[in-house]
Structure 1
Amino acid sequence: MMLEGKHAIVTGGGTGIGLAIARGLVAEGAAVTITGRRLEVLEAVAEPGMHPMVMDVTDEDKVRDTTAAAVAARGPVQICVANAGIAEGRKLHKTSTEMWRKIMATNLDGAFFTIRESLNSMLETDWGRVIAISSIAGLRGAPGAGAYAASKHGVIGMIRSLSEDFMAQPYTFNSICPGYVDTPIVARNTDAISQRAGVSEDEARGMMVDQNRHKRLIAPEEVAAAVLWLCNPLTQSVNGSEIPIAGGQI
């Protein structure tokens, strides 16, 4: 129960990576606010210790108000996991302005709003962890996903800067950069790639699997384990870092 008495917020906490992270934090004793756009999804998966709240990370006012309500109910946010995101691919020269702004609004603006509002209460405490779920695309780019890669690079830059802003204080800021994870996003992308590339769904899925160095999809629990490691009191010196989870060197 390493995190007993701590309040965590996990955006996109109703499915995939976010849900695995929430479960891991609850298992260590944290009270976890899970957020997403659909209450029914959050309520269907919520376990004891999880507290569902509707929040669209692209809505600045909603992020501010929901975070404040969570703090009022469960105390200062001491663990902020900015996980909510979308993954849509298109070659950059074929990317519409609408698509570009949609991806930036969710992946970059959403992370910014979430972290900023969580910090308002975290900085009143003597300990805190901010963890952003970026991507290996944020480290090396990705073919056919320029907007997505740009958004994830932006997240890493923001986290690095925050670590400098609060250097030598009891808060750390790190990014986790997974490869392809076995989540509903992969299922949706399988269909999209299949149609766009004119290949079978098995071939489309194989194209994603092959991007991971160990040639398998990553389990959401592997990402959750990295989050829990960063929340360990003994990782105070891990700050401003990117942790790739991709089955090998990038």
Structure 2
Amino acid sequence: MWGLRGRHALVTGASRGIGAAVAEALAQRGARLTLIAREEGELFRRVDLIRRATGAEVQGIPADLTDPPSAEGALDEACRRLGPVTILVNNVGFVSTAPFLETGPELWWRHLEGNLMTAYRCIRRLLPGMLAEGWGRIVNVASTAGLTGYPYASAYCAAKHALIGLTRSLALELARKGVTVNAVCPGFTDTDLLRRAAGEVARRTGRGEEEVLGIYASRNPQGRLVRPEEVAWAVVWLCSEEAAPVNGQSIVVAGGEVLAG
């Protein structure tokens, strides 16, 4: 089940955390992979690890997806090397916590670039190939912050809400064209991104970083941080043939933190 043999999957933000876990899980299901990340050394180490662990065909393309020319060149190169991308996992993310009145325009736009515009650019560039194939899966890695609010994270919440809005709208537009568009919404997940955010909060509040991480874990009714691989298997399912009728959904991976009222 969930076989993806031969499908060309492109994962952004793939050198660590959720992106790395998603890439390995897709490789285990037979996908051919393009991994994109900014840090070249970490990216190629991840490519080598996944290739050795799974035997999959994996390539890495360093690029800054917040820079339009860099993004365009990387996406075109991915398709030249391995053919049309039919699975796209938008996992690039950026978060910096600050009170709203300390969130100036530059920081606000960095959140929109890092969490929304990168996904927009990838979808715009790769969707024509999916439509030509008559099959595609787009999965946007959003967050529970796209479904609810958190203090000191107004820019991040706004960007992730926008990403979910894009997911829902595009899902309806493509519903009869063989392409599904969904989001996964992890809760507090044990990644470098979360630990950097915890460090910022610790510096602002005088708490220890581990204490802040404990507060994050307490938001999960299961009393723990989510693991990247748990998010990854939700993504893999959404990419599968078996999930074909699932479209426009925001799958929460948070131990019950966000429930419909």
TM-score, normalized by length of structure 1?
0.97
Name the counterpart of 1:17: 18
Quote the Cα distance in structure 2 between the aligned partners of 1:200 and 1:167.
47
CA contact (8 A) 1:63 1:117 kept: no
Name the counterpart of 1:243: 251
Name the counterpart of 1:65: 73
Q: What do residues 24-57 of structure 1 show as CA deviations (whole Å, max 9, x unaligned)?
A: 0111111111001111110112122321101111
Name structure 2 gaps, 5 residues minimum: 52-56
Query: SS at the partner of 2:24?
Result: helix
Question: What displacement does 1:87 show?
Answer: 1.6
1:213 to 186, 197, 221: 221
Q: Does 1:55 align with 2:63?
A: yes
2:237 to 222, 229, 236: 229
Quote the Cα distance in structure 1 between the aligned partners of 2:184 and 2:172.
18
CA contact (8 A) 2:171 2:180 kept: yes
Q: What do residues 139-174 of structure 1 show as CA deviations (whole Å, max 9, x unaligned)?
A: 012111000000000000011111111122211000
Q: Tell me how many residue pairs correspond in the alignment.
A: 250
CA contact (8 A) 1:20 1:224 kept: yes
Name the counterpart of 1:26: 27
Quote the Cα distance in structure 1 between the aligned partners of 2:210 and 2:40.
33
Name the counterpart of 2:103: 95
Amino acid at match of 2:209: E
CA contact (8 A) 1:163 1:240 kept: yes
Quote the Cα distance in structure 2 between the aligned partners of 1:222 and 1:240.
20
Name the counterpart of 1:75: 83
Q: After TM superposition, which residue ranges in structure 1, 4 or more long, deviate above 3 angstroms?
A: none
Quote the Cα distance in structure 2 between the aligned partners of 1:92 and 1:104.
15
Question: What displacement does 1:109 show?
Answer: 0.7
User: What is the RMSD of the two structures over their aligned residues, measured on CA atoms?
Assistant: 1.2
Q: What do residues 74-128 of structure 1 show as CA deviations (whole Å, max 9, x unaligned)?
A: 0110000000111211122221111111111111111111111111211110211
Name the counterpart of 2:37: 36
CA contact (8 A) 2:199 2:209 kept: yes
Name the counterpart of 1:193: 201
Quote the Cα distance in structure 1 between the aligned partners of 2:18 and 2:153.
20
CA contact (8 A) 1:71 1:121 kept: no
Moved more, 14-23 or 123-132: 123-132
Question: What displacement does 1:249 show?
Answer: 4.7
CA contact (8 A) 2:185 2:253 kept: yes
Quote the Cα distance in structure 2 between the aligned partners of 1:202 and 1:13.
26
Q: Does 1:115 align with 2:123?
A: yes
CA contact (8 A) 2:167 2:181 kept: yes
CA contact (8 A) 1:107 1:152 kept: yes
Name structure 1 gaps, 5 residues minimum: none
Query: SS at the partner of 1:192?
Result: helix
Query: SS at the partner of 2:61?
Result: strand
- How many percent of aligned residue pairs carry the same amino acid? 37
